[in-house]
A and B are shown apart, each in its own frame.
Chain A
Amino acid sequence: MKRVEKTPLIPYVFLRLLLRGEDFHEFSDDIDEIYQQMIDGGPKFRAKAWYWFRVIECIPSLIMDKIYWRLTMIKNYLKIALRNFQRHKGYSFINIAGFAIGMACCLLILLYVRHELSYDRYHKDVERVCRIVQDIRTQTANRVFAPISPMVAPTLKSDYPQVEYAARVRPASSRLVRREGTFFYEDRFMYADQELFDIFTIPFIQGNPQEALIRPNTLVVSQRMAIKYFGNANPLGNTLEINQQEYEITGIVKDSPENTQLKYDLIASLETLKDWDEMSNWYSTMFYTYLKLKPGVIVEEFSQQVSRLADKYVGEQLKSWGSTYHYFLQPLSSIHLHSHIRYETEPPGNPVYITIFSFVGLFILIIACLNFMNLSTARAANRAKEVGLRKVVGAQKLQLIGQFLGESLLVAFLSLGLAMVIAWFAIPLLNELTGISLSFDVLLSPIVLLSLIGGAVLVGMAAGLYPAFVLSAFRPAVTLKRATSAGTQGFALRTVLVVVQFAISVMLIIGTLTMYKQFNFMKNQYLGFEKEQKLILPLRGGINIQKNFASVKDMFSKHSSVTGVTVSSTVPGRGVSNFGVRLVGEDDSKNQSMFHMYFDDDFIHDYGIDMVAGRAFQKEMKTDFMGAFLINEAAVKAFGWSRPEDALGKRLLTGHGGRTNPIIGVTKNFHYRGLQSEVEPLVMEFLPWSFRYITLSIDITDLNNTLAFVGSQWKALWPGHPVEHFFLDTDFDRQYRADEQIGNVFGIFTFLGLFIACLGLLGLASFTAESRTKEIGIRKVLGASVGGIVLMLSKQFTKWILLANCIAWPVAYYFMDRWLKNFAFRIDIGIWTFMLSGVLVLLIALLTVSYQSVKAAVANPVDSLRYE
């Protein structure tokens, strides 16, 4: 019978979408049957409405039905997947462990990168907050200072309506803080204006943030400090003594986050300093100045406008000196990574390391993914029968792809879970190693967690897509007949994957070795002075030995282990100050900026610094005391003299107050700063008011005794000040610590990357050995030796590793060459590093495959021939 009336199109399409094949016809024909009857017996629209209604009322139950059967299939997939995990424990371990370690690396790197990028971004309205810094230009030099004059903040507020808030901050390290019996040195102390709390987000727990720092001698403390000094008592209204000065506590704030350039523990009011001469000095560079601009002010434009703000007040004076002050603004959030000017509040971050680590993380993740693809396709042989059977009973290709993708997603999620556990354990270790404080909690915030899950899905998909397509493309007739041959498909691709993995590993190893060599080189390089067996006593918390340094030296030399005592303004590796220097008689346009060091008459001798011309300071020569200069070879060059002897007798003008004295000697260049930088010109004076360090040259055979002696002498000299000491060599090497820590972390990731690559190789080797079981059996029957077979199986891998080396070497060379350019004193990248890395990787790889090769080679041919 011909269809009398066509069914309504839209519901028909609905059904078509929801149902397939037989189900669809059964269903639609039933509705159609009644529909046709209704068309015959009544108005058309009623029948149509009826049809519509029937279909719509069915939709919920049809969808439920679909989900029900889907779930049944998923249950089956899950069961099969778990069985597969169990049956091939080794493979599954390699897959999940490799993935998990890769992900854990990525998580940690993510945390690190996030930490670095999040610096000072948490403040309210941070896009309006900036720091104003100063470029001091003289005819000869151009120096950019982060701290500037205290006059700038008030001037900005009175002259420029664009500025909403302005605050000055003067950090001062190592204050002696005392309350009743307890006293400690605290490093995170600063003076600040009240408006700091309007610019930085510093949440108050107690006290009034509007007026905490208005009066002199008021103090805001962090929660940590409140507990340290007051325990359970309420600190508010109480006092703390800091460097012999009483402060009233007016506020308690939350502890400083780690990702800010101003880490605070104690914030004293800047009003405290109001009577200090420096407070009205336009030429001083001591105060960091932070601004919050009014909404709508464009930072770059405003930066231009304030450039010459000092001219109105001191322009004439500056002009007479031949110098100009240029001010400019830096957005607060960009300072940590992108500002590298003089006297930053803390060592700046390095965007290069962020890039490097992002790449390393990506590399490791790629290695883990490649591994997964590699192993899954290699294992295809084992799954071929299953695929064949599923296809025979009606599985569609899409379904199979779904199944295998699902399986890799499952692995990805298991790995993510495991990776979180690994990260949880690794973070404390990493913090210790790097000196950064990363926190695991970040990973648990909903957004991060969601994106991690998203990431796991992506990675699972990326790793699972290729195997899924390969597996689902098997033709049942072929796979059911011959089970193992299918696995050899895609062999070329797998080779490429292995080569890429090892190329990456080799690169990472070369990187690590080069870094270690460079750090070692820096540590063992002769610095131009003796850095061993030097015990340093820093004088902090207001100790002054300007008057009595001679008797202090005597006190400490009264022990047989102490072979020398010298006092100085700084020791190598600690900061040096710089001032403009010129020859007497030249005008101030000839000023050159040079570093200065002040020490007594024993310093040159105790430190074993060589003289190239003239003589060192001598006790007998009374004029040496505050009346003579030493310079180093670099300074000789800077003044343009060809021989060191030419410098002798020339008179210099330098420093605060402009001292004019003759040069009496030239020292050989010695590294008073780390080896990252060249030795720059240095001027040395015998100037007691700046002595801050005592250096004891000691014999370390009886260290405990010596330290006890030092302690008792200290107590006799300065009761109430805790004694501190450190060794010069370790302290000096601390300058490399930031780089070295990065090197350590790099090393760890290299190891992990290699480990993951080896896991992959192991899996692949065992697969290769397995798929050639029969061949090996026949070879043995025909008389091949065990050694011969091991060699045959290893040869292939060796070729791959060699190829990987060829790819890795040039790339590694390029990057390490660039990295080494950071250091003024650096090693040559020797071919040996490359050879060593290559051989190392080859050995590790061969060791990895040897287990499988030997196992295959010694197997009894009777068993292997019966195999399959």
Chain B
Amino acid sequence: MEMRLLSRAEEIILLAVFKLEGNAYGVPIRDRIHKDIGQHWSFGVIYKTLKKMSAKKYVRKIASSPVAERGGRSRYYYEVTPQGISALKEIHQVHSSVWNKVKDLSLEKKGE
């Protein structure tokens, strides 16, 4: 069965989680996205997307041991699953084949 492609938000968040390598919880994920694309995303969008991706099994949610700063509650870390990896691979492939043979887009625009 054909997998449904990742949405842009899913792709960005999934990559952020991937790049954070084990330190992926809310605050760093948001920072990472800011660094990657220069925008501050709301936590709402981030969590909404993470929740959907958990249901699709692209990410896994792991509770840490209790954290003192959080009043003894767990922090929840996210980890990309193998399914998530293959979804990323697929979107990457789609990107490259879609962008293939597109030459200097910006120059052409300016030439007008």
Contact = CB atoms under 8 A, between A and B. Distances in A.
Interface in A13-46: 22-23, 25-27, 29-31, 33-34
Nearest to B69: A1
Contact of A1 (B27, B68, B76): B68
Contact of A58 (B43, B51, B52, B69): B43
Contacts of B26: 26-27, 29-30, 33
B73 A61 contact: no
Contacts of B42: 54, 57-58, 61
A60 interface: yes
B47 A64 contact: no
B45 interface: yes
B8 interface: no
For B42, B51, B73, the residue with the greatest tally of chain A CB atoms inside 10 Å of its CB is B42
A59 interface: yes
Contact of B76 (A26, A54, A58, A59): A26
Contacts of B75: 29
A722 to B, nearest CB: 78
Interface residues on B, range: 10 to 19
B45 A61 contact: yes
A103 B76 CA distance: 53
B3 to A, nearest CB: 19
Contacts of B45: 58, 61
B25 A58 contact: no
Contacts of A60: 44
A832 to B, nearest CB: 70
B95 interface: no
Closest 4 CB pairs of A and B: A58-B44, A30-B26, A61-B44, A57-B42
Given A29-B73, A68-B52, 19 more contacts: A1-B68, A22-B76, A23-B47, A25-B70, A26-B47, A27-B43, A29-B26, A29-B70, A29-B75, A33-B26, A33-B27, A54-B43, A58-B42, A58-B45, A59-B44, A61-B42, A61-B48, A62-B44, A68-B48
Interface residues on A, range: 20 to 34
A65 interface: yes
Contacts of B52: 68
Contacts of B51: 23, 65, 69
Contacts of B44: 57-62, 65
A30 B48 contact: no
Contacts of A27: 26, 43, 47
B71 interface: yes
A3 interface: yes
Interface in B27-46: 27, 30, 42-45
28 contacts: A3-B71, A22-B76, A23-B47, A23-B51, A26-B47, A26-B76, A27-B26, A27-B43, A29-B73, A30-B25, A30-B26, A30-B30, A33-B26, A33-B27, A33-B69, A33-B70, A54-B43, A57-B44, A58-B45, A60-B44, A62-B44, A62-B48, A64-B48, A65-B48, A65-B51, A68-B48, A68-B52, A69-B51
Interface of A: 1, 3, 22-23, 25-27, 29-31, 33-34, 54, 57-62, 64-65, 68-69
Nearest to A31: B43
Contacts of A22: 76
Interface of B: 25-27, 30, 42-45, 47-48, 51-52, 68-71, 73, 75-76
A69 B54 CA distance: 13
Contacts of A61: 42, 44-45, 48
Nearest to A37: B27
Nearest to B43: A58
Contacts, number: 53
Contacts of B47: 23, 26-27, 65
A475 B48 CA distance: 33
A422 to B, nearest CB: 43
Nearest to A18: B44
B26 to A, nearest CB: 3
A74 B71 CA distance: 36
B11 to A, nearest CB: 17
A27 B70 CA distance: 11
A23 B43 CA distance: 12
Nearest to B30: A30
A62 B27 CA distance: 17
B73 A25 contact: yes
Contacts of A1: 68-69
Contacts of B30: 30
Contacts of A30: 25-27, 30, 43
A31 B25 CA distance: 12
For B43, B52, B68, the residue with the greatest tally of chain A CB atoms inside 10 Å of its CB is B43
Contacts of B27: 30, 33-34
For A23, A29, A33, A65, the residue with the greatest tally of chain B CB atoms inside 10 Å of its CB is A29
Contacts of A29: 26, 70, 73, 75
A34 B26 CA distance: 10
A69 B75 CA distance: 23
Nearest to B31: A34
Contacts of A25: 70, 73
Contacts of A26: 26, 47, 76
A31 B27 CA distance: 8
A454 B95 CA distance: 51
A65 B52 CA distance: 9
Contacts of A33: 26-27, 69-70
A173 B71 CA distance: 93
A23 B75 CA distance: 11
B58 to A, nearest CB: 16
Nearest to A53: B42
B55 to A, nearest CB: 9
Contacts of A62: 44, 48
A359 B25 CA distance: 64
A50 B65 CA distance: 29
A467 to B, nearest CB: 31
Contacts of A31: 43
A54 B40 CA distance: 10
A536 to B, nearest CB: 83
A69 B73 CA distance: 25
Contacts of A69: 51
Contacts of A54: 42-43
Nearest to B71: A3
B44 to A, nearest CB: 3
A35 B40 CA distance: 15
B41 to A, nearest CB: 9
A11 to B, nearest CB: 12
Nearest to B68: A1
For A30, A57, A61, the residue with the greatest tally of chain B CB atoms inside 10 Å of its CB is A30
A34 B43 CA distance: 12
A28 to B, nearest CB: 9
Nearest to A66: B48
B79 to A, nearest CB: 15
A25 B47 CA distance: 12
A26 B45 CA distance: 14
Contacts of A34: 27
B9 to A, nearest CB: 10
A730 to B, nearest CB: 75
A502 B45 CA distance: 58
A23 B76 CA distance: 10
For A1, A31, A61, A68, the residue with the greatest tally of chain B CB atoms inside 10 Å of its CB is A61
Contacts of B71: 3
Nearest to A33: B27
Nearest to B52: A68
For A23, A26, A61, A68, the residue with the greatest tally of chain B CB atoms inside 10 Å of its CB is A26
A26 B48 CA distance: 12
A59 B43 CA distance: 10
A70 to B, nearest CB: 13
Contacts of B76: 22, 26
A61 B52 CA distance: 13
A282 B69 CA distance: 103
A336 B69 CA distance: 80
B51 to A, nearest CB: 7
